């Protein structure tokens, strides 16, 4: 059974803590945000908390949420 997009988005948000040369986790998170209709920082946090209620997003990820939400809204049109 395929994982739900919301779960993958929550995992991707966690993964934003790491660095890749092409920032692919961020690009994936934009697509997943559109699929999950999560387009504000609060909605992204809600998706994360749904699967990781005991965890807080790392500070460096928190600092990217606003940009991510903007990118999701821009790409979703």
Residue numbers of the site for other proteins (CB under 8 A)?
A: 16, 18-24, 26, 59-60, 63-64, 66-67
Separation of alpha carbons 77 and 74, rounded Å: 5
Degrees, nearest 5: CA angle 35-16-24 = 65
Kindly tell me which of 66 and 74 has the beta carbon lying closer to other proteins: 66
**In whole angstroms, how close is the CB of 65 to other proteins at the nearest point?**
9
Residue 47 and residue 13 in contact, taking contact as beta carbons nearer than 8 Å:
yes
Closest approach of other proteins to the CB of residue 58, in Å: 9
Q: Closest separation between CB of residue 11 and other proteins, Å?
A: 12
């Amino acid at each position: 059974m395929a994982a739900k997009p919301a779960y993958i988005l929550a995992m991707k948000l966690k993964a934003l803590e790491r660095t890749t040369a092409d920032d692919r986790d961020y690009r994936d998170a934009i697509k997943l945000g559109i699929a999950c209709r999560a387009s504000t920082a609060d909605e992204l946090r809600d998706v994360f908390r749904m699967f990781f209620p005991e965890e807080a997003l790392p500070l460096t990820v928190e600092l990217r949420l606003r940009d991510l939400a903007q990118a999701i809204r821009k790409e979703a049109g």
